[in-house]
Amino acid sequence: MKATLKIGLLATAVAGSIALVGVANSQDSLPQGVTTIKVAPPSKDHPLTELYSGWHFRSPETQALQQDDFDNPGFLWVERGEELWKKVDGEAGKSCASCHNDASKSMKGVGSQMPKWDAKLKRPLTMEQRINSCRTNNMKAPEWKWESDNMLSMTSYIRNQSRGMPVNVQVDGPMKEWADKGKKLYYTRVGQLDMSCANCHEANYGKYIRADHLSQGQSNGFPLYRLKWQKLGSLHRRFSGCMKNIRAVPYKRGSDEFVALEIYLAHRGKGLQVETPAVRQ
């Protein structure tokens, strides 16, 4: 009885949210390494009329943390990734650099297109999964855990090489089925609070839920430094957090559901520039 009352009240609060709040940031300032935080939607039938990076919705102080690469704590992980890139690891006696040489050249444009279809495995792979595939098969090195500092350092380092480039995931051919599955998940209500991603991020972006300024839930800045986490974290961690917030049992990191959702989100945010490592609240 108590739970129903609280949910009812909360639902009322969300439905009757406060008036649309004008976003405070100036158009002259931008995160370092990108030239725009607002783009036109990639197609006419897109549910949003314009695409905004999550940076757009944050307070000036949070935005400032992403305007200087030194001030941005996310770079602690990017720099660690740069070290790991050159480090020999595994029985094959190789480092990433042994095959991929200079990451700033070989990895440019790679992160912006992830997740990508793997013809051998007949499924898409996220950056984390691709790294572990390389480690296992080519380096004969043990896999890294999804949310480990090693993995976060490497994913942020690689995706940082695409910073400023437009998100450009391919969802044709065999990827379409996964993108469609992700889309279905995006619009499905779950949890005790019975909400879908769209309830907040499509129907109410720009408004406040309690004291949080709702973004469009775009993924172009991931992996990113979240003030709440006080460290860098993955997109699947954020998915998990969101699901817990609405009192749903979250899917696991690297699960088919989260991979599908990641693909759909990248497709939904196509054209926005990669900002890794972004800074959010």
Partner 1 sequence: MAGKTKPRVKVPKTAAKGDVVTIKTLISHKMETGLRKDKKTGKVVPRNIIKKFLVKFDGEDVFSVDIDPAISANPYFQFTMKAEKTGEFEFVWIDDKGETFSKKSKLTVN
Partner 2 sequence: MRLINRRETLVLAGAAGAAFMLAPHAAFSAAGDAQALVTKFTGGKTASDGKVTLQMPEIAENGNTVPLTVSIDSPMTKDNYVKRVLIVAEGNPRPEVATFNFSPMSGTAEASTRMRLAKTQNVVAVAEMSDGSFHKVKRQVKVTIGGCGG
Count residues near partner 2 (CB under 8 A).
Answer: 29
For partner 2, which is the closer residue by CB, 124 or 250? 250
Q: Contact letters (x/-) for partner 2, 47-76, by CB under 8 A?
A: -----------xxxxx-xx-----------
Stretch that binds partner 2, among 4-12, 37-45, 135-143, 181-189 (CB under 8 A): 4-12
Residue 6 binds to partner 2 (criterion: CB under 8 A): yes
CA end-to-end span of the chain: 34
Q: Under the criterion CB under 8 A, does residue 190 sit at the interface with partner 2?
A: no
Nearest distance, CB of residue 68 and partner 2, angstroms: 12
Q: How far is the CB of 147 from partner 1 (least distance, A)?
A: 11
Residue 211 as a binder of partner 2 (CB under 8 A): the answer is: yes
Taking CB under 8 A as the rule, which mask of x and - marks residues 144-183 in contact with partner 2?
----------------------------------------
Residues that bind partner 2 (CB under 8 A): 2, 5-6, 9, 58-62, 64-65, 193, 200, 208-214, 227-228, 230, 241-242, 244-246, 281
